[in-house]
Every structure is written in structure tokens, then in C-alpha cells.
Amino acid sequence: MGKILRVAGPVVIGEDVEGAKMYDVVRVGEMGLVGEIIRMEGGKSTIQVYEDTSGIKPGDKVESTLRPLSVLLAPGVLKSIYDGIQRPLDVIRAQTGDFIKRGLYPDPVDLKKKWKFVPSVRKGERVTAGDVIGTVQETSIIEHRVMVPPGMEGVITDISEGEFGPVETVAHLSTKSGPREVSMGQYWPVRSPRPVVRKLPPEIPLITGQRVIDTFFPVAKGGTVAVPGPFGSGKCVTGDTPVLLRDGSVVRIEELYERNKERGKRTFGTGEEYIETSKPIELFSYKDGEIVESKSNLVYKGRSDTVIKVKTSTGREVRVTPVHKLFKVGESGKISETMSSQLTKGDKILCAKNVPESYTAASSGLMLAQKMNEVFSDEITETEVQYGPFDVFDLSVPDYGRNFIGGYGGIVLHNTVVQHQLAKWADSEVVIYVGCGERGNEMTEILTTFPELTDPKTGKPLMERTILIANTSNMPVAAREASIYTGVTMAEYFRDMGYNVALMADSTSRWAEALREISGRLEEMPGEEGYPAYLGRRVAEFYERAGNSVVLGQKGRTGSVTIIGAVSPPGGDISEPVSQNTLRVTRVFWGLDASLAQRRHFPSVNWLTSYSLYSEDLRKWFEKNVSQEWHAQYLRSMEILQEESELQEVAQLVGYDALPENEKEVLDVARAIREYFLQQSAFDDVDTYCSLKKQFLILKSILQMDQLEKYAVSKGAAVSDLNSLSYREKLSRFKEVKEGEVEQYFTSLSKLMEDEIKGRADKI
């Protein structure tokens, strides 16, 4: 047993640690905090501790577990919510409450739970590493396949059907080195990639149902993607937003932040801050059709370049970021959470009833609490985009409908929610979401909303094929690195079963920040912008664990791990080291564009800055499985959009009306591609997912319109006259057509365009 020589934040120097080896897990201090040896010099071991080291002092004991940082891969990991070192957060909450007690390390899965094991091999059969010897129905969606661990092979001497725990022995092997046991689960060191037979070329696309991705910037199964997004682009409200408190007073949200700034626990990120309040803030929220009493324990402050001002017919008013949601009331009374950037004049939003008429934008901002159990829909009279930058704030209200009553006049304001279109629709069987260093309220929303999502393919809860790894920015920084490796190791395990896995890491920038801090504590020579010199190698090693592979086993199964990594560069500047090192190793770049979001264009993927290096690799698959014209349509569409970009500069100088008709025609077709194809609504039941056949036919219709309009313009027709024809509205509605009706709709639309455009041209 060794002892501590020095403590520097999450870095601890230990001496004479018995049996110490690189990357072994150690327990530090009397509480047994979990740490990992990251450097050894003589008898000294440098340890990064994955828990708060407050109270740890020189002379305290250090004890090695003689085993590297590993995760338990066994039935029960699906549907789980872990922290960065595979501690089950739901179990910890049940044991200690809302805060993680230091030194507590419960089992990753319930070791007492019995699972029905069904053998798939018989006594006397020869098995090798990776062979499936039996199955467990882990969830209603996913069958857990029990495999022979890597490095083991032999003849089955005993195997039987029955009820077994996650780490109990289910079979015995006779091997060259003697008898061996195979248990239901297995431990695996997270820093070591799980072996495969070979990696396959990226020739099969990961279908997402998102047109801008599948058609323009596709990713292969087993591919790597970088998605940049600036810090501080949260879904928040401006500081002057009034919030209705339960005692009847109305306080600006900025004042709530100031009140709790000194008393609460403050945590800082890049350009943002959040405060865990010492006492709950008592509020009102909308839930299940009425206003209820609620409370919040977290106040967030960030920055945003843009806000949208929303005014209603009764004088209610609020300023929110473009992605902040309000509760839109549809014609049938159906309530949908809609981003402010998608709201327009005439839409109706949910507001609290029985608010005094004097409480308007011009009032003093004070309001008495009344019987506010009722809500009503108020019509929007004005929306205005305002440019900042602005300080923006948010309250996390996870247990009461995730909203609070605020704004001038009492509007129902949603707090942060993340859309998971790729998790829902990508054709991967297993989803692993790693929240690496995200702010607390962002991760809270994921933990509360993800279990409520329905898998659109099966109708079952999406959590039945999902693992969440939550490592928020107020947790010790060292655990961010562990969370990345824990997530990818679990992904490889399900890949080895023969599944396609989508791993989403949000955000690798926070992981890089942790590397920078640990490197500074170790007094290493810094690289660019203070990041360690080995940053590029670490990033590359992580993304190299993606791939579509022939996995171990005699039957030649294949499985894939697709890694989608979010990068959060400060100020959205992708020239900084983390973004550049990520772009060097990833082959797809989905460039999110704030200006597109402000123009209400979603998904906000910029078609001029994004790219996919898989396009040529996937070309044969698309041409074989969809149409021979697939790649040609993509190339022609990109040409039109590029021409549009160049013509817009000219149009700004001389005016649109001064352009010749053939150039107006290019702008017209480009607008159709943008509005009728690239724009897609995640909230529309039909448009949320678009099959490849439908994507192809929509784009084919637009390019057919291009050919016909060119013919008409050559005959002397004006583009403005063509736009007034009825085919235009029918084309705009193509994305609303249900999947079973697309071919019939395409045929009728094609004939209509031929008749109207050519007919108009031939009359000239």
C-alpha cells in the first residue's frame, strides 16, 4: 500500500504503490476515490482521480486494484444511465440522493438479477473467440449475444439452459492451457480496442432519413462525422425576462442569477456558467393541461449572438434564442413544442390565464399570484430577429413538464431540450450517447426526455436500445476522458455481436479541455493554445475505433460502430486545434450555420461548407439500390447551389430585376432545392423521416422543373409568370406526401409540370 506525496486538483502523486502499472485503477484516500495511474517515474505514480479530491492530503493511503480501468459488458447495460466510469446513476441516486457520494462504486448492473440464457451451441462443439454460445433477450428490441471472450478457444465441455446472473458461468471449455469458464458477461479495459478480423471498406451508407445528409453529405456505416457548434448557443431567454415565482412576485431571470451567484455552487465552462442553488427556486409550470407549482435547482447563464422577440395580441412579450421552444397550439388544439425561429405571425402559443391586463411589456413587471390553473392560446402578432451578442439565461425544471411561466404577461417557456433525430431514425440497432462535459441542465434534459422517446421503427421506448453516459461539466474533469473510452468500448461490444451501433459524443471539445487541464497539472510542455502536444494522436485514436468490420467468430458476422462527434469551438471558430485535429481524421463534416437557423432553415447544415468524403465510396450502393441517376442528380444540384451563391453577389450589386431571365431561372431552381428539399421538419409526422426513394423523386422533380424552365425561358417566357402556375404549389407539398403515395404523386406532378411549363412556353 502506497501513500500520497502531493495533491494538485484532480492529479495526485503517490509513492510506493504496491504492484503499480500504467493505467491501473487505484483507490485514493480513506474514502477510496477512484483514480487511474497515467505516469510512472521510479517509485512515484501520477494518478488522475475521477472524483473530487477535496479533503485528500499527503500521507493518505493509495491502494492499487491491480487491474486497468475496465467496464463490465453484460446483460443489463442497455437502458442504463452511467457516469464516465460506469457507475449507474439511478442506483447511486436511490442510495445517496441527488448528489453522488464520493468513493461510492456500486455494481454497473444488478448482479442479483437472473437472465434466461438459451444456448446456441452443444457440448462437444469447438468454439473460438467471438463465437456466440447463447442468447439472452435483454430488451424487447435487442437480443444480447453471449460470446467467447477474445483470446479463448476450445471445446465445450458443459453448457446448459437456465437462469443466470450477469457474471455467472454459463459454459466450460477445454482449452490447450486447461479448463476455462465462460461467464455471461466480461470485463474489458477501456483503453484497448476490441479486436476484429478485418475492417471493411466504407461501401454501405448509414441511412438517416434526413435529406441533406443522405443525399448531399452521406456517412457510411462505420464512418466518422464531425459536427461543429459554438458554445453558448443554448435554448435560453434574455436577462430581462420576468419569471413568476410561487409567492406571487415576478423577478427578472437575471436577478435570480444574481441572487444565487454567491450562495450557490458555481461551475464555469467556455463562455457559460451555471449555478446549483442552495435552496430551490419555487415557480409555476405547465403540466398535463394546467398550471402547477414547481421548483428549479439550477440557473444557467450563457451568450447568444441572436434572439427573437415574440409579441402576442394581448400584449404578452418575450425575447428568446432562436432554438428556444414555445408551446404552439394547433388548429385541433394539439400542443407542440416549437422553436421560436419556426413561429410566425398568426401562430398561437400557450399562455397562463387570469393574468392582470396591466401586466404587459410597458408595466412595472410586478404581478400578484392568482388562480392560474388555466391556460389559453394567444395569437402572435409580431416576431423580430434582434442581433447581439446577448447574455442569456435558463432555469432547469426537469420534473414539472420542463418549462416555467415567464415573459411579460405569463407565457409558457420551455427549458432546454435536445432533438435526437439521428438517434431515432438512423438505421443502427444500438445507440450510445456520451454527454462529455455538457452543462448540467443540458444533460438533465437528456436524462429525462430520452426515456420518454418512442422508437419509431418498433413503437417501443427508444431506451430499450440505448445507453446514456452522463459526465457533466461540474463533475471532475478527468472523468471526461474515461466517459469517451467507456462509450466506445460498449459500442465495440455490441458491434462484436453483429449490430450496427451509432455512438454520439457531445462534445469532444470538453474532453480536450480536460486533457489540457491535466497536462497543465503535470507541467508538460504545452502545444498550440495550451493543449497538450499529443492532442491530435488522442483524437485520432478515438475515431480510429469506428469502422464496419468482420468481427471475431467462425461465422463471419459483421458489425459497425459509427462515431458522430460534436465539436464546440469557442465562438464557433473551427480554426482552433480541437476542430482541426478532428477534421483531419473524420471524413464527414456537417457544418451547422447560425444564419440558416435565423432564416428558419432546418436542418441548419450549410451545403457550401459541409462535405462528405464517403460520397464516391457510396456511389455504387446508391446507384444499385436507388437509381443510376442518384449521383448525377447530386452533382447537378450542387452545381445549381454553387451558381446561386455566385449570382446572389451580383444580384446584391445590380438588383434582382436587372438579371437576365436565364440567371433568374437558376436562382428560382436553387430556391426550390433549398425550400422543397433541403428544409425538413423534425416536428412533422410525415416529413421527419424521408426514405431514399422519396428523396430521389423529390429532387428529380425539381431538376425536371429546371429543364422545363430552361426550355420555357429560351422561348421567351418570364420566370415570374412560370411561378404563378399550379405545379409550383404541388411541388412544394411533395415532402408532405406519405411514403406509400410518392410514386403516384411524382407521376402526376411530372405530367402537370410538362403540361403547364411547356404549354406556356409553346404559346409564346
Q: pTM for the complete prediction?
A: 0.77
Question: Any idea which fold 626-762 has?
Answer: 1.10.1140
Per-residue b or e along 419-449, where b marks 16 or more CB atoms closer than 10 Å to that residue's CB: ebbbbbbbebbbbbbbbbbbbbbbbbbbbeb
Cα distances from 696 to residues 29, 210, 611, 625, 700, in angstroms, run 62, 12, 19, 11, 6
Taking only the tens place, the pLDDT of each residue in 209-237 is: 999 999 999 999 999 999 875 433 445 67
| Whether pLDDT at 708 is above 80 | yes
Taking only the tens place, the pLDDT of each residue in 733-764 is: 999 999 999 999 999 999 999 999 998 888 77
What is the average per-residue pLDDT within 11-15? 93
Specify the 3-state DSSP secondary structure of 67.
strand
User: Can you tell me the distance from the alpha carbon of 315 to that of 312, in angstroms, rounded to the nearest whole number?
Assistant: 5
Contact 43, 80 (CB under 8 A): no
Taking only the tens place, the pLDDT of each residue in 532-577 is: 999 999 999 999 999 999 999 998 899 999 999 988 776 667 788 9
User: Can you tell me the distance from the alpha carbon of 708 to that of 705, in angstroms, rounded to the nearest whole number?
Assistant: 5
> How much is the pLDDT for 181?
95
Q: Give the helix ranges, DSSP H, for 522-660.
A: 535-543, 577-585, 594-598, 615-625, 630-654
The answer to whether the Cα torsion of 130, 134, 136, 142 is positive or negative is positive
User: Can you tell me the distance from the alpha carbon of 657 to that of 677, in angstroms, rounded to the nearest whole number?
Assistant: 26
Run of H or E residues at 117:
strand 115-119
User: Helix, strand, coil shares of the chain as percentages rounded to 5?
Assistant: 30, 30, 40
Contact 584, 574 (CB under 8 A): no
End-to-end CA, the chain: 95
Q: Give the helix ranges, DSSP H, for 354-433.
A: 421-425
Contact 63, 35 (CB under 8 A): no
More confident residue, 445 or 459: 459
Question: Any idea which fold 237-414 has?
Answer: Endonuclease - Pi-scei; Chain A, domain 1 (2.170.16)
| Whether pLDDT at 705 is above 90 | yes
More confident residue, 275 or 530: 530
What is the average per-residue pLDDT within 378-397? 87
User: Can you tell me the distance from the alpha carbon of 95 to that of 105, in angstroms, rounded to the nearest whole number?
Assistant: 11
| Whether pLDDT at 357 is above 50 | no
> How much is the pLDDT for 355?
59
DSSP 675-744: IIII---TTSTTTT---HHHHHHHHHHHHHHHHHHHHHHHTT--HHHHHTSTHHHHHHTGGGS-GGGHHH
> How much is the pLDDT for 416?
38
Taking only the tens place, the pLDDT of each residue in 401-417 is: 668 888 888 888 865 33
Task: Kindly report which listed range (349-358, 370-379, 559-568) carries the lowest average pLDDT score.
Answer: 349-358
Task: Kindly report which listed range (271-285, 444-458, 587-601, 633-647) carries the lowest average pLDDT score.
Answer: 444-458
Q: Which of 422, 337, 356, 409 is nearest to 378 (CA)?
A: 409
> How much is the pLDDT for 261?
83
Nearby residues of 373 by Cβ (< 8 Å), 6 or more positions away: 290, 291
Task: Kindly report which listed range (121-125, 281-285, 334-338, 658-662) carries the lowest average pLDDT score.
Answer: 334-338
440: confidence class by pLDDT, cuts 50, 70, 90:
low
What is the average per-residue pLDDT within 452-458? 75
The C-alpha angle 445, 398, 420, rounded to 5 degrees, equals 25
> How much is the pLDDT for 358?
40
Cross-sheet strand order for the sheet of 132-137: 143-147, 132-137, 115-119, 162-164
What class is the 211-230+424-612 domain?
Answer: alpha beta
305: confidence class by pLDDT, cuts 50, 70, 90:
confident
Q: Which of 508, 485, 482, 514 is nearest to 35 (CA)?
A: 482
| Strand ranges (E), 123-241 | 126-127, 132-137, 143-147, 154-159, 162-164, 169-175, 178-183, 186-189, 198-199, 224-228, 237-238
Instruction: Find residue 72's DSSP bridge partners.
Output: 187
Contact 163, 114 (CB under 8 A): yes
CB atoms within 10 A of CB 19: 11
More confident residue, 365 or 427: 427
What class is the 2-68 domain?
Answer: mainly beta
Residue 34, CB-side half-sphere exposure with 13 Å CA sphere: 21
Two domains, one topology: 2-68 and 115-186:
no
pLDDT > 70: what percent of the chain?
Answer: 89
Instruction: Find residue 116's DSSP bridge partners.
Output: 163
Task: Kindly report which listed range (141-150, 336-345, 519-528) carries the lowest average pLDDT score.
Answer: 336-345
400: confidence class by pLDDT, cuts 50, 70, 90:
low
User: Can you tell me the distance from the alpha carbon of 42 to that of 13, in angstroms, rounded to the nearest whole number?
Assistant: 12
pLDDT > 90: what percent of the chain?
Answer: 54
Taking only the tens place, the pLDDT of each residue in 24-83 is: 999 999 999 999 999 999 889 999 998 889 899 999 999 999 999 999 999 999 999 898
Task: Kindly report which listed range (150-164, 347-361, 446-460) carries the lowest average pLDDT score.
Answer: 347-361
User: Can you tell me the distance from the alpha carbon of 19 to that of 126, in angstroms, rounded to the nearest whole number?
Assistant: 37
The C-alpha angle 277, 278, 281, rounded to 5 degrees, equals 55
Q: Which of 507, 320, 316 is nearest to 416 (CA)?
A: 320
421: confidence class by pLDDT, cuts 50, 70, 90:
low
> How much is the pLDDT for 232?
36
What is the average per-residue pLDDT within 689-696? 95
The answer regarding whether domain 115-186 maps to CATH 2.40.50.100 reads yes
Residue 518, C-alpha cell as written in the block: 491535466
397: confidence class by pLDDT, cuts 50, 70, 90:
confident
> How much is the pLDDT for 594?
64
Cα distances from 713 to residues 639, 663, 668, 724, in angstroms, run 19, 10, 12, 15
CB atoms within 10 A of CB 48: 24
Q: Where along the chain do its domains lie?
A: 2-68, 115-186, 211-230+424-612, 237-414, 626-762
DSSP 595-617: HHHHTT-SS-B-TTT-EETTHHH
Mean pLDDT of the chain, nearest integer: 87
